[in-house]
């Protein structure tokens, strides 16, 4: 397959000037004048197609903005190229950490930005941020899967360690809710202390 076959569409259309940093047959990374890096396809891909193999340069037990999580306490450095992949709530690629592969979420043209859903690998991120992906389903505050309701996460591909942590969280919440129900029976939220003041007793909400 030849590169940049899709010359008629608006490839790499940036709102600010970008400089190419790295290029392979499959992907290109760019850096903008304000220092933001991003990753783009360099050829078309079919939905589900493997875009590349993810490298593992090193392993550590804590997250940074350059690592990807592969287990409850396991974070890997995936190298400069893939670390340029920005987050989107409507991602164009998946990081499959079991197979260490990057795959396309849908048919992609050459020149489309490659983004992934950070909570698909990250449970509790080192550097949360506000998302501006402008997709209709944008979750806005991205801090890791830990902070996203299960009903929302169900709409996304999740890696095994994230799915397991969600299950664990929900089991704990169920237990906590059962406790709370017992506890709040008969406890009111405002009890007069006799001086006209009202003491507020926390009822363990949320």
Residues that bind Zn ion (CB under 5 A): 89, 131, 133, 138
Query: Following DSSP, what letter does each residue of 4-25 receive, concatenated?
Result: T--TTS-TT--SS-EEEEEE-S
Instruction: Tell me phi and psi for residue 183, to 5 degrees.
Output: -65, -45
- Nearest approach in angstroms of CB 157 to Zn ion is 16
Give the residue with the Cβ less far from Zn ion, 44 or 85.
85
- Nearest approach in angstroms of CB 29 to Zn ion is 21
Residue with tokens 């690629």: 93
Give the residue with the Cβ less far from Zn ion, 28 or 139.
139
Structure tokens at 52: 């590349």
Element (H, E) at 87: strand 86-87
- Render the burial of 100-118: b for 16+ CB within 10 Å, e for the rest: eebbbbeebebbbbbbbbb
- Nearest approach in angstroms of CB 140 to Zn ion is 6
What is d(CA 95, CA 85) in angstroms, rounded to the nearest whole number?
10
Give the residue with the Cβ less far from Zn ion, 83 or 131.
131
Residues 6+ away with beta carbon under 8 Å from 173: none
Give the residue with the Cβ less far from Zn ion, 39 or 133.
133
Give the residue with the Cβ less far from Zn ion, 133 or 145.
133
- Nearest approach in angstroms of CB 141 to Zn ion is 9
- Nearest approach in angstroms of CB 86 to Zn ion is 10
């Amino acid at each position: 397959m030849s590169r940049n076959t899709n010359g008629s569409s608006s490839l790499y259309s940036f709102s600010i000037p970008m400089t190419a940093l790295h290029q392979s047959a499959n992907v290109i990374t760019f850096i903008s004048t304000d220092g933001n890096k991003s990753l783009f396809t360099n050829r078309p891909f079919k939905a589900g197609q493997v875009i590349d193999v993810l490298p593992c340069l090193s392993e550590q037990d804590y997250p940074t903005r350059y690592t990807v999580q592969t287990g409850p306490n396991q974070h890997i450095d995936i190298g400069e190229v893939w670390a340029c992949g920005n987050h989107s709530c409507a991602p164009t690629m998946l990081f499959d950490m079991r197979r260490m592969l990057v795959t396309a979420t849908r048919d992609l043209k050459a020149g489309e930005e490659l983004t992934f859903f950070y909570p698909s690998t990250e449970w509790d991120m080192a550097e949360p941020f506000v998302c501006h992906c402008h997709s209709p389903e944008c979750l806005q505050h991205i801090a890791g899967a830990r902070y996203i309701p299960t009903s929302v996460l169900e709409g996304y591909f999740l890696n095994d360690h994230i799915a397991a942590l969600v299950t664990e969280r929900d089991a704990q919440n169920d237990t906590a809710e059962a406790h709370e129900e017992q506890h709040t029976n008969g406890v009111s939220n405002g009890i007069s202390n006799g001086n006209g003041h009202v003491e507020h007793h926390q009822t363990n909400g949320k």
